[in-house]
Amino acid sequence: MAETVETIHTDDEVVLHAEKVSKIYPGTKALDEVSFDVYKGKVNVLIGENGAGKSTLMKIIAGIEQESGGELFMGGEKVHFDNIVQARAKGIGIIHQELSLFPNLNVYQNIFMAREKTKNRIGLDNEQHIELTKKILARLEHPIDPMTIIGDLRVGQQQMIEIARNLIADDLKILIMDEPTSSLSEQEVQVLFKIMRELMADGISIVYISHRLEEIMQIGDYVTILRDGKFVASAAVKDIDVSWIVKKMVGTKKSYPQRKEKIDWSKRETVLEVRDLCLPKKGGGWLLDHVNFELKRGEILGIYGLMGAGRTEVFECIMGLRPEHTGDILINGQKIDIKNVSEQIQNGFAWVPEDRQREGLVQTMDIGKNISLASLKSYAKGILLDSAKEEAAVDQNIKDIHIKVADKRLPILSLSGGKQQKCVIGKGLLTKPKIMLLDEPSRGIDIGAKTDVFEIMNHYADEGLSLLVVSSELEEIEAIADRIIVLSNGIKTADMVKEEVTQDKLVMASYKGHTKAGREA
Amino acid sequence: MADLKKSQDNTKLIMMLLKGRTLIVLGLLVIFFSLATPNFLSANTMLLLAKHVALYGILAIGMTYVIITGGIDLSVGAVVGLAGMVAGGMIQKGLTFESMGVTVYCSVPLVILAAILVGAVVGLLNGAIITRFGVAPFIATLGTMYIARGFAMLHSNGATYSAITGHEALGNVGFTFFGGRIAGIPVGAIILAVIAVIAGFLLTRTTFGWHIFAIGGNEKAAKLSGVKVDKVKILVYIFSGICAAIVGIITAAQLEASHPASGETWEMNAIAAAVLGGTSMMGGIGTIGGTIVGAFVIGVISDGMVMCGVSEFWQMIIKGLVIIVAVIIDQFQRKMEAKMALQARNESKNE
């Protein structure tokens, strides 16, 4: 995959340079020899799809994670950070994507956590804390009472506290902002940009990660694009436009298994229909805003969208985890009353959750039990479990979806991520579902296992199983889905059949819900 | 390559020793005490031991269920007291209905049923508080522990019902059967054996049992797999309550008296037995067999030291040390298992 690396002609000073930095996690390479420059007093944007490695690179620069290979340089001098304290000593601060505040403590306690001012080295100097907090919040144009408990603040206000926390350090050189605007209102975003400009005027460099392309054009100076953990391109923002970014983000095609036959979907019966699905957001607004779609027998329907677009929430509503939702869900034209997960499984749904470790597996149980867990009832005679029947079903399942295991009595954690994922899928299939919901089924597994997973999906779709698949991977969703809907900010912004799908269209639609025009459309 | 094989064999051997550690400790303890006191290894001592162990052994079985789901039940000791008082009261005082001015004396089976029902109700209460209101099991059962003990005291205003043998004329004799022996074997020990077999069977051979393991291993994943988490948890606490009530009946029958303070701190012995038997306090792991062995370890330590003339205070210290060491070894075993799993994972990747 040869990429054109545009050379940037600039007189700006480089304050931090990452040279061929790599990060290897067990089983995956999150970063692969990525080089990255941070220019002094500028907004350095980092962009890429979910899982492209942006956050990993930032965590390495901030000392939260350590590089597996490559080097960091500051002012021509090689640096290495074992922890966040060392990075901070060099003037690097980070604002996390997920807020890392203490909701139980108040504003000034949060700001001065682990850098407390003291009187006579023992007593906390809270007067100074409060005074400095007031000063810094005034500068941020958010005069919040320093005694307010963080949990009582709106998310946007909490974000401001995060920023204040970093500004309290006098010698801040680089401020990393990982999607700082994802939870801010339009007005708050403008305040944030004003603050960023002030910081830049003070010579502070900003590393900015965002999914909102229009923002990047507005505030960015330099942009670097990552894909699959690799460096793709970098350029000065003034030399490029949005479509250039989209093109670079998307990249070239890999090959994935395809459906065998072409099907005339207009003749297929509809098995699932979702009408006006709404899910209120805590504190106002919508996580899902009147979402409509239908699913035919044997169809693979992809749901594309950015993180937080409401994709997982659709599944949660269908599976009965979100009783506060409104709207109708129909199976074979019959409206169903959704009560709980076990009833939905009996209604013919199976769910492969996004977070395999937290939601998919029972780590203390062996491979076989993990596979049979959801369907145990069907192997019972009265209260007695028919082990022979259970084992036969599990063995058949292992054979059907080709999980290579030495012994099904081994602990589930002795399997690789890909095999674990197949077990979770197998568990769902054993309940004999009509409709299967898969949330990021290819996350964190290697390419071979991905292909296997897609083959399983195609195979069962050919046999009449209908599948709903959430994915953030453009190429994958394009390859696997017969039809794709795009969610953006809780709104359905596109619905296209395979022939119409292009990756550019998907990306464009996934940002649409954040713009005013898109919301009104 | 040979080294690797050897080290793997070593790991396997260590794992086997670790898994059988409670049994090994039990064996060592029995050998130690039979050398230390000549009378220890006699049929009489052993039967007495079984009689003692039966009490917290049964409690520990219920506790094992609860701990496997990731919970804890502190109320069992108090339920022992309450169930005993209910049984004793029904035999001695009868049930007085003031509105009708009659006092009814129930037959022993009805008395037993009533006592068990009391245990089940406390368990239901525990389960309901934990699942419906999201109260942490520790706190919920701490609360019901006080409530149950309070009711036990209220029942007789703190007094003991003594000589609860019943009267032929009232048709309620036979309660002390549960404190007696059949063919020399204490009835309590027989009940322990029966409950252990049933509980072990339920835990490993039924969907209910596997749902218990699944909840303790990963509650979220269990829920998403369609396990009715709340229902299973409530049943588990009811089971624990029933076990406690049975112990209450046996205790009262053995003493031929019900005392409202009986069973105090027994929940701790039950927890200790479960943990010694390899039940993980994190949930998801445990066996009934292990718990029974754990209960016998505690029993042997107590009875053995009494026979050696070790003071009660030293017994406490030694019991405490045994429990802590057991959990440390448990942690060691888990780390080792995790390491082996990771190793297997890496090997399969290299294929």
A55 located within any domain: yes
Identity of the residue numbered A437 = L
Closest residue to A416, CB basis, from B213, B214, B345: B345
Residues of chain B below pLDDT 70: 1-8, 346-351
Average pLDDT on A67-77 reads 89
Residues of chain A contacting residue B280, judged by C-beta atoms under 8 Å apart: 364
Q: Based on the fold, state whether residues A193 and A163 are members of the same structural domain.
A: no
pLDDT tier, A494 (very low <50, low <70, confident <90, very high otherwise) = very high
Residue A487, SS3 per DSSP = strand
> Among all residues of chain A, which has the CA nearest to that of B224?
A341
Choose the mutation target among A322, A361, A373 for the interface with B, i.e. most B CBs under 10 Å.
A373
Q: Based on the fold, state whether residues A6 and A63 are members of the same structural domain.
A: yes
Q: Based on the fold, state whether residues A77 and A181 are members of the same structural domain.
A: yes
Interface of B with A in 278-317 (CB under 8 A): 280, 283-285
A457 located within any domain: no
Residues of chain A contacting residue B338, judged by C-beta atoms under 8 Å apart: 413
> Among all residues of chain A, which has the CA nearest to that of B343?
A414
**B12 CA: distance to closest CA in chain A (Å):** 14
Contact by Cβ (8 Å): A491, A518: yes
Q: Distance of CA B336 to CAs A280, A403, A405, A484, B19, Å?
A: 46, 25, 21, 46, 12
A351 located within any domain: no
Closest residue to A363, CB basis, from B202, B205, B217: B217
Closest residue to A365, CB basis, from B213, B338, B348: B213
Contact B224 A369 (CB under 8 A): no
B256 located within any domain: yes
Q: What is the pLDDT of residue A96?
A: 77
Q: What is the pLDDT of residue A520?
A: 56
Asked if B219 is an interface residue toward chain A (Cβ–Cβ < 8 A), one would say: no
Q: Based on the fold, state whether residues A266 and A331 are members of the same structural domain.
A: yes
Look-up of token digits 């054109």? A4
Asked if A64 is an interface residue toward chain B (Cβ–Cβ < 8 A), one would say: no
In this predicted model, what pLDDT tens digit does every residue of A266-317 receive, in sequence order? 889 999 999 999 999 877 788 899 999 999 999 999 999 887 788 999 999 9
Look-up of token digits 């001065």? A112
Average pLDDT on A73-92 reads 88
CATH assignment at residue A494: 3.40.50.300
Q: What is the pLDDT of residue A26?
A: 61
Contact B226 A345 (CB under 8 A): yes
Q: Based on the fold, state whether residues A73 and A181 are members of the same structural domain.
A: yes
Q: Which of B238, B211, B236, B268 is nearest to B60 (CA)?
A: B268
Asked if B84 is an interface residue toward chain A (Cβ–Cβ < 8 A), one would say: no
Average pLDDT on A252-256 reads 64
Beta-strand ranges (E) seen in A101-195 are 118-119, 123-124, 174-178
Q: Based on the fold, state whether residues A63 and A31 are members of the same structural domain.
A: yes
Closest residue to A361, CB basis, from B202, B218, B228: B218
Identify the DSSP state of A287.
E
A383 located within any domain: no
Q: Based on the fold, state whether residues A48 and A193 are members of the same structural domain.
A: yes
Q: Which comes out higher in pLDDT, residue B337 or A424?
A: A424
- Of the three residues A198, A219, A252, the one that is the final residue of a domain is A252
Average pLDDT on A80-90 reads 88
Please tell me the number of Cα atoms within 13 Å of A115 on its side-chain side: 16
Asked if B339 is an interface residue toward chain A (Cβ–Cβ < 8 A), one would say: no
Q: What is the pLDDT of residue A467?
A: 95
Residues of chain B contacting residue A340, judged by C-beta atoms under 8 Å apart: 228
**Domain of A243?**
1-91+171-252
CB neighbour list of residue A294: distance below 8 Å, 6 or more residues apart: A270, A272, A273, A274
Contact B210 A410 (CB under 8 A): no
Contact B227 A414 (CB under 8 A): no
Q: How many folded domains does chain A comprise?
A: 3
Contact B284 A387 (CB under 8 A): no
Q: How many folded domains does chain B comprise?
A: 1
> Among all residues of chain B, which has the CA nearest to that of A412?
B341
Q: What is the pLDDT of residue B107?
A: 87
A514 located within any domain: yes
Question: What is the distance of C-alpha B77 from the center of its chain?
Answer: 10
Q: What is the pLDDT of residue B3?
A: 56
A514: pLDDT strictly greater than 90: no
> Among all residues of chain A, which has the CA nearest to that of B225?
A374
In this predicted model, what pLDDT tens digit does every residue of B48-84 receive, in sequence order? 999 999 999 999 999 999 999 999 999 999 999 999 9
**B232 CA: distance to closest CA in chain A (Å):** 13
Asked if B196 is an interface residue toward chain A (Cβ–Cβ < 8 A), one would say: no
B192 located within any domain: yes
Terminal CA-CA length for chain A: 38
Q: What is the pLDDT of residue A9?
A: 64
- State the average pLDDT for chain A: 86
Q: Based on the fold, state whether residues A157 and A26 are members of the same structural domain.
A: no
ipTM above 0.90, yes or no: no
B24 located within any domain: no
Contact B224 A364 (CB under 8 A): no
Q: Rounded CA gap, A379 and A383, in Å?
A: 10
Q: What is the pLDDT of residue A45?
A: 92
Look-up of token digits 């399983």? A456
HEC profile of A404-417: CCCCCCCEHHHCCH
Contact by Cβ (8 Å): A190, A180: no
Residue B161, SS3 per DSSP = strand
Q: Based on the fold, state whether residues A213 and A128 are members of the same structural domain.
A: no
Q: Rounded CA gap, B205 and A338, in Å?
A: 31
Q: Based on the fold, state whether residues A87 and A1 are members of the same structural domain.
A: yes
CB neighbour list of residue A351: distance below 8 Å, 6 or more residues apart: A315, A319, A341, A428, A436, A437, A439, B224
Instruction: State the helix-helix crossing angle for A387-400 and A417-429, rounded to 10 degrees.
Output: 120
Residues of chain A contacting residue B210, judged by C-beta atoms under 8 Å apart: 365, 369, 373, 376, 385
- Of the three residues A128, A148, A169, the one that is the final residue of a domain is A169
B272 located within any domain: yes
> Among all residues of chain B, which has the CA nearest to that of A449?
B349
A265 located within any domain: yes
Q: What is the pLDDT of residue A244?
A: 85
Main-chain phi, psi angles of B217, to 5 degrees: -75, -45
Closest residue to B225, CB basis, from A373, A387, A404: A373
The H-assigned helical ranges of B171-257 are 187-205, 207-217, 219-224, 229-255
Q: Which comes out higher in pLDDT, residue B338 or A149?
A: A149
Contact B280 A364 (CB under 8 A): yes
Identity of the residue numbered A121 = R
- Of the three residues A145, A169, A193, the one that is the final residue of a domain is A169
Q: Which comes out higher in pLDDT, residue A136 or A141?
A: A136
Identify the DSSP state of A149.
B
**B220 CA: distance to closest CA in chain A (Å):** 5
Q: Is residue B10 within a helix (H) or strand (E), and if so which, with residue range?
A: helix B2-19
Q: Rounded CA gap, A101 and A286, in Å?
A: 24
Q: Which of A416, A487, A483, A489 is nearest to A453 (CA)?
A: A416
Contact A373 B224 (CB under 8 A): no
Look-up of token digits 């403008």? A190
Q: How many CB pairs under 8 A join A and B?
A: 104
Look-up of token digits 């003493």? B255
**B234 CA: distance to closest CA in chain A (Å):** 17
Strand bridging mode A300-304 / A380-381: unpaired
Please tell me the number of Cα atoms within 13 Å of A121 on its side-chain side: 0
Asked if A447 is an interface residue toward chain B (Cβ–Cβ < 8 A), one would say: no
A424 located within any domain: no
A85: pLDDT strictly greater than 70: yes
Contact by Cβ (8 Å): B215, B232: yes
Contact B340 A414 (CB under 8 A): yes
Residues of chain A contacting residue B227, judged by C-beta atoms under 8 Å apart: 342, 373
Closest residue to B205, CB basis, from A365, A384, A415: A384
Residue B62, SS3 per DSSP = helix
Most confident among A74-83, A168-177, A181-190 (mean pLDDT): A74-83
Q: What is the pLDDT of residue A251?
A: 67
Asked if A24 is an interface residue toward chain B (Cβ–Cβ < 8 A), one would say: no
Asked if A396 is an interface residue toward chain B (Cβ–Cβ < 8 A), one would say: no
Q: Based on the fold, state whether residues A81 and A187 are members of the same structural domain.
A: yes
Asked if A359 is an interface residue toward chain B (Cβ–Cβ < 8 A), one would say: yes
Contact A384 B227 (CB under 8 A): no
**A411 CA: distance to closest CA in chain B (Å):** 7
The CA-CA-CA angle for residues B226, B231, B233, to 5°, reads 105
Q: Based on the fold, state whether residues A87 and A180 are members of the same structural domain.
A: yes
Asked if B5 is an interface residue toward chain A (Cβ–Cβ < 8 A), one would say: no
Q: What is the pLDDT of residue B7?
A: 65
Residues of chain B contacting residue A371, judged by C-beta atoms under 8 Å apart: none
**Domain of B222?**
47-327
- List the structure tokens of A177: 């902002």
Choose the mutation target among B225, B282, B333 for the interface with A, i.e. most A CBs under 10 Å.
B225
> Among all residues of chain B, which has the CA nearest to that of A340?
B226
Residues of chain B contacting residue A416, judged by C-beta atoms under 8 Å apart: 345, 348-349
A503 located within any domain: yes
A366: pLDDT strictly greater than 80: yes
